[in-house]
Amino acid sequence: MGRFTSRAFRKHISKKSRKTRRLRRARKTRRRHQTGGGDTFSRRIPPQAVKANPLVWDDEPVA
């Protein structure tokens, strides 16, 4: 490459890959949060607790 010295080009590539990796990781966690809304929630809370206070959990779809 005429424009870059090899060292600068390597540095630039590593920086870019690091950025994309960070973005990909963020996107993955965000998707997991979106999908894991109601079902993981109701699974984590025991069903007798849900029955005990229905006012708190009535907005969640309780399986």
pLDDT tens digits, 9-62: 666 666 666 666 666 665 555 555 555 445 555 555 555 555 555 555 555 555
Please report whether residue 1 resides in a domain.
Answer: no
Per-residue pLDDT, 16: 63
Q: pTM of this prediction?
A: 0.18
Please report whether residue 13 resides in a domain.
Answer: yes
Please report whether residue 63 resides in a domain.
Answer: no
Please report whether residue 17 resides in a domain.
Answer: yes
Total domains in the chain come to 1
CA distances to 54, 57, 59 from 50, rounded to whole Å, are 6, 6, 11
CA distances to 6, 12, 49, 50 from 46, rounded to whole Å, are 59, 51, 5, 7
Tokens standing for residue 4? 């870059």
CA angle 7, 13, 19 (to 5 degrees): 140
Domain range for 36 is 6-57
